[in-house]
Amino acid sequence: MKQFSICISLLWSTLMMACTKEGNPTDAGQPASKAYTISGSVKDAAGNPIKNAGIRIENPNGNNIHYTASSDEAGKYSAVVSAIGGYKIYAWKETEFENETYQIRLGMEKDSDYDAFSVPPSGVTRNFVWKLSSRIPDRAVSKENGTGYFGGTIKFINYSSLTDQVPAGTAITIKLAPVANAKFIDGTPAAGKVVEKSFTIRDGVGQAYYINDIPATKYKITASAVLNGTNKVIKIGRGNPDVFFADAEYYFKSEGGSGSFESGLGSPNEYAFYISF
C-alpha cells in the first residue's frame, strides 16, 4: 500500500511538471495580470513623457469590441484585452493652442505598427510619439482636403478681382516663418524652423493650390515668383480677393470634435489665401 502511494505521488508530480512545461502563463513566470495585455509609452518628439493621452484599442471584426486607456505621469499605459485577434490601436492628445482646443492624433514608432495585430498571452507593446509632420500610414492622402498627414494644409487661389491672373508657368514659392516666440502645437520652440513650399501655376481661372504637411504653429507667410527667368513679388489676399498685402499671418484651426483618425487640424477649405502680382 505504501509503495502504491509513492507511485501515485510520483505520477502526480510528473503531471504537474508537464503542465508547467506546456507554458501556463502563471507557472512559467508570466504574471496572470499580463496575459493579453497591450502596453507601451507615449512621448513627444524630444522623448519626454506625455500624460493623459487617450488610447483606443478596437477590433473592427469583433462586433464593435473596443477598449480605452490613458497614459500616466510617466507616459505609460496598459490595457488587458480578450484573446480575439485583429486589433488596431490609436492615441490622441488634447491640447490648447491659440485659445482653441485640439484633439491631436499621435503617431507610432514604425509604419507596421499601424497594421492590425494579434495579442499573445505574453502581451504586446505599441509605443506612440507626437509627430508634427509626415504621412499617417493608415489614412488615405487627399492633398485637396489635407488628409493623410500629421501636418496641416494651406490653400492658395490664383484669383484677384483687381488685376489679371498670375500667368500659367509662373513658379511660386511660399515661405512660412514662425512668428516671434512661436511654439509648435506640441509646445516645442518653433524659432528658425522656416518652411518653404512651391508650385507652378496652371492654365485656368481661379485654380486652387495646396501646400501640405506643415508643422502646426503660427506663421508669417510671404510669397515670391519666377516667370520667364524674372523674379517677381507675389501679394497675398487674406481671405479676400479685393485686398492684398506683402505678407499674412496664419495658424491652423482645430478640426473640432473629440478626435478623429486624421491630424486634428482643420480643413484647408475653411479658409483660403489669394495670390496676385
**Residues 245/124, Cβ–Cβ less than 8 Å:** no
- The DSSP 8-state label assigned to residue 216 in this structure reads P
- CA angle (73, 77, 82) in 5-degree steps: 160
Q: pLDDT band for position 62 (50/70/90)?
A: low
Range with the lowest mean pLDDT among 32-46, 114-128, 224-238, 242-256?
A: 32-46
Region 33-61 average pLDDT:
90
Partnered with residue 64 across adjacent β-strands are none
pLDDT of residue 3: 43
pLDDT of residue 30: 37
- The DSSP 8-state label assigned to residue 63 in this structure reads S
Sign of CA pseudo-dihedral 139, 144, 146, 149 = positive
Region 92-117 average pLDDT:
96
Q: How many Å apart are CA 205 and CA 158, to the nearest integer?
A: 7
pLDDT at 247 over 80: yes
Over the stretch 81-104, which tens digit does the pLDDT of each residue have? 987 778 999 999 999 999 999 999
Region 69-78 average pLDDT:
98
Rg (C-alpha) for the chain, rounded Å, is 27
pLDDT at 255 over 70: yes
Average pLDDT over the chain, rounded to an integer: 87
Collapse the DSSP code of 270 into the 3-class scheme (helix H, G, I; strand E, B; otherwise coil) and give the result. Answer: helix
pLDDT at 127 over 80: yes
